[in-house]
A and B are shown apart, each in its own frame.
Chain A
């Protein structure tokens, strides 16, 4: 049994494979500061982001205190009406629902994506790139169009449920306008963003570590849990963030696959910006959502940095 703990100890500094890349990055980082060339090359991107990203954020913050005129045009101002509206309990309820949906979606995506990424990265052989392409290509078609397609396929009289009923599925079963429908839609829409970082992490993983684990008498499960999982944790964390963040703000899945009890915060924000021509309230809601997500992101960044420090140590 001692050999088993031995195996664990050997693999303990888990994200070893990323070590080289990280260190290299750091060294380059130090070089950047001394070379003016890199500063100049970073300038266009910085200006671009400042103008169009930070700029639009500032406009949105200001707009939260604005008003809308008769022709539907928003104006800046000092009105607190939108902020007062945020107290409506409907927003809290729908916001919490969105967070729960996004969390379930992220976990489901992880469970689905892990074996897929694993199979492609470690057993894909010469088909690796073709398989990854097959996963990415559907993204070329707009998410909205694909979701619309699902809503037709899964509708009550659609082919899926018709076939199901022919095989004895009770007619009371439906998919569109249920929690299941919305979460299926979200998982379908965002699972790719989980597969890609996981695949990248597994690709980078040094497979000799797995062999080492087996050599040290680790069983397949034990080796998987103590070698593969820690080595790909960063990919999984990145994937969770990449899935969770857009899923919280999504409105298309809830609109096409959901009913009255599946409305998400994105639907209410979209409603305020468009149907209600109330950009100020839409902006205020967006800012609140952004703040909540920033807190989550902060946690993620800290965790990622700690992993990085571990790797460098």
Chain B
């Protein structure tokens, strides 16, 4: 049994096909990893330039792959009716399972990766080039949110169009805890001990501690990580749990205080019997910003339809429908008021251009750094 051999050489070959990116990776080391260095990013950008962009035209039915319930159903039916194509939907439940399905050889026309995964997929040569100027409705993004013209995860947005944005802060019960101080220190509020949660997410938890200690949120320095683990171990003994189900915990009373994603607060607002008891704050030390985007995988069979669908999603009326359906803000000019209305009582959920420019986002790091962070996370979680 030597299954490793054909697989390896396949990887090498596909890396070489990706041109400069592959060359950089091979030069850097004999392992199968692509190091995430400035050089690799630049090389990927250069190879993207050379590749023809997807042309927006109907070339078949749309095979769509996203989180469940992330698009207003009427937006789908509208697209089907207008262009006479079917939309075949499937869903993933995490970025990792999305990547696993793609790695297993499934072909999708349109995916919705987070910024970090968009960078990984683009560097691995798995995304097609998109030219935003071929889209009718993209100006509402790029003319008003210059951040997305050249985001860290995809130089010049060569493979992606931004979809939603969210930040990480603290959601809490005002009826139980009153008002908070606006710092990550609030997670250590003794009044909330036994009713407090952290997200079950390595980057969010390590990042929060790093911000509180004044470090880089992606730090993998051993001394930094030691201090982070010590800080979090101190909180852990008072902690009710690590759980990413932030809005359920707030709604069913398990949580009086939880590290929370701003995007989930809309669900709290919509489902709570009394929405006025909930608060959301972005910490003064900095709140991590994240975004999801549209991307077309290399293996897509109908990339043209996918690009037309992206344009359709960016039509102002569809943006409004989707924001009202999923409760996440989108970087589309003209839609800001729609979102602000949903989180009227939680104004800190709103993501401003300044928030974006602070650029506190979780980055891909090298395998060794990733390993160090993962060990720290295991130690925090298992105690």
Contact = CB atoms under 8 A, between A and B. Distances in A.
Interface string B113-129: 00000001101101000
B28 to A, nearest CB: 12
B190 interface: no
A88 B97 contact: no
A224 to B, nearest CB: 43
Interface residues of B, number: 45
B11 A263 contact: no
Given A71-B103, A76-B3, A259 B32 contact: no
A260 B243 CA distance: 9
A208 B379 CA distance: 58
B129 to A, nearest CB: 17
B382 interface: yes
Given A70-B123, A274-B94, A77 B382 contact: no
A158 B252 contact: yes
A276 interface: yes
A59 B379 CA distance: 28
Contact of B102 (A71, A91, A260): A71
Contacts of A156: 195, 252-254
A206 to B, nearest CB: 50
B11 A75 contact: yes
A223 interface: no
Contact of B36 (A70, A75, A76, A158): A70
Interface stretch (B233-241, B329-337, B351-359): B233-241
A155 B239 CA distance: 16
B347 interface: no
Contact of B33 (A69, A93, A157): A69
B31 A260 contact: no
Interface string B239-280: 111100000000011100000000000000000000000000
Interface string A71-108: 11101110001000100101101100000000000000
Interface residues of A, number: 41
B91 interface: no
Contacts of A67: 31-33, 367
Contact of B374 (A72, A73, A76, A276): A276
Say whether chain A's binding surface is mostly helix, strand, loop, or mixed: loop
Contacts of A93: 382-383
Contact of A268 (B126, B371, B382): B382
Contact of A274 (B97, B242, B379): B97
Contact of A70 (B100, B124, B381, B382): B124
Contacts of B4: 62, 66, 75-77
Contacts of B236: 260
29 contacts: A66-B4, A67-B31, A67-B367, A68-B367, A69-B32, A71-B102, A71-B124, A72-B96, A73-B11, A75-B11, A76-B8, A77-B31, A81-B371, A88-B379, A157-B252, A158-B253, A177-B241, A258-B241, A260-B242, A260-B383, A263-B381, A263-B382, A268-B381, A268-B382, A271-B378, A274-B97, A276-B377, A277-B96, A277-B99
Given A73-B11, A158-B253, 18 more contacts: A62-B3, A66-B4, A71-B120, A71-B124, A72-B100, A72-B120, A73-B99, A85-B375, A88-B379, A155-B254, A156-B252, A156-B254, A174-B254, A177-B241, A260-B239, A260-B240, A268-B378, A274-B96
Q: Which 9 A-B pairs have CB atoms at the shortest separation, nearest pair first?
A: A157-B253, A76-B4, A90-B382, A72-B99, A71-B124, A155-B252, A259-B241, A156-B253, A70-B34
Interface of A: 58-59, 62, 66-73, 75-77, 81, 85, 88, 90-91, 93-94, 152, 155-158, 174, 176-177, 258-261, 263, 268, 271, 274-278
